Amino acid sequence: MKAFSILYFVLLGGGLLGAEPFSMLLWPEGVPGTTTPLSEATLKLRASYGTHPGRLTDITTPEMTVYRPENPNGAAVVVAPGGGFMFLSSVSEGTQVCEWLNGLGVTAVLLKYRTPTRDEAQPFEKPTADALRAIGLVRHHAQEWGVDPGRVGLLGFSAGGNLLGHAACDRGERSYPVRAEFDDKKGPDFGVFVYGGGFLDKEDSSKFRPGFSVPADAPPMFFVVAHDDKNNPMEAARLYLEYKKLGVPAELHVFTHGGHGFGMKAGEKPIYQWPQRCGEWMRSMGFLRAR
């Protein structure tokens, strides 16, 4: 686990603002569920991606790495990178995000969730369980880490945005054992949804797919997406409209250019300023207030 933390530290090309990151297993008592063997199609797709130092895959023992800021304000955010439930884009949608959050005084928790899961009946199910357990662990260690247990958010990119939607909106019994000391049944207190999708009906994009809905007690949400990102603008807009109908606080940003996977890139395009807009939203919502 320590090697995992050091790898992320090196990939950042420097240090974060607080202490050295440390990692924790999400399921030290044993990872729940059984692993579905990867299909030939998945194996071929995985091979086609090649190797990349910032791309993680074949994750069967999920864990989280905690990045603590120098001056914590009590907020914490679990970061779920994207990767189509095939891999994790662990730098531009991971460590760099944690660095930015630490700069806001937020305790950042990088989630290394199970993947690939694309051969599962519900590819999001195991990753969502990992996210909920990470949130529960943050709340469990809140006093130790200087975190307000009522200000624990979840930020997800692409597939991570899909698991965010399920962690924030799905209700009912969990498909894994819930430990009483971990309040992972509650879900995130707020969310940041970055070019996620997978919620619309394939036949009628004006409706959610069967089995998904936004509940009246959904957490506040910040949505950001590019207009030229295939169907994801429709996904974000439909979710936002449901939030509006229910009277749940939300903010939606649709930038003209940016495509998919812009992550934490720097440049002149307006979309690259989304972290600033998101920080302003979190501050306006009271999530960044001092303890």
Domain harbouring 78, CATH code: 3.40.50.1820
Q: How much is the pLDDT for 264?
A: 97
Q: How far apart, in whole angstroms, are the C-alpha atoms of residue 168 and residue 288?
A: 20
The answer to whether residue 170 is domain-embedded is: yes
The residue to which tokens 């495509």 are assigned: 259
Q: How far apart, in whole angstroms, are the C-alpha atoms of residue 241 and residue 235?
A: 10
The answer to whether residue 9 is domain-embedded is: yes
Could you tell me the pLDDT band of residue 175, with boundaries at 50, 70 and 90? confident
pLDDT tens profile 68-80: 999 999 999 999 9
Q: How far apart, in whole angstroms, are the C-alpha atoms of residue 156 and residue 217?
A: 19
Helix (H) or strand (E) holding 41: helix 40-49
pLDDT tens profile 92-123: 999 999 999 999 999 999 999 999 999 999 99
The answer to whether residue 76 is domain-embedded is: yes
pLDDT tens profile 34-74: 988 999 999 998 888 777 888 999 999 999 999 999 999 99
Peptide bond into 210 cis (omega under 30): no
Higher pLDDT, 169 or 13: 169
Percentages helix, strand, coil for the chain (3-state, rounded to 5) are: 30, 20, 50
The answer to whether residue 290 is domain-embedded is: no
Q: How far apart, in whole angstroms, are the C-alpha atoms of residue 250 and residue 177?
A: 32
| Of 129, 138, 168, nearest in space to 67 by CA | 138
The answer to whether residue 15 is domain-embedded is: yes
CB atoms within 10 A of CB 232: 25
Higher pLDDT, 262 or 47: 262
Could you tell me the pLDDT band of residue 140, with boundaries at 50, 70 and 90? very high
The answer to whether residue 291 is domain-embedded is: no
The answer to whether residue 161 is domain-embedded is: yes
Assess contact for 200 and 235: CB atoms under 8 A. yes
The answer to whether residue 20 is domain-embedded is: yes
Asked if the model's pLDDT at residue 2 lies above 50, the reply is no
How many domains are there within the chain? 1
Q: How much is the pLDDT for 291?
A: 65
Domain residues for the domain of 270 are 2-29+43-284
Residues 6+ apart with CB under 8 A from 17: 69, 70, 71, 99, 102, 103
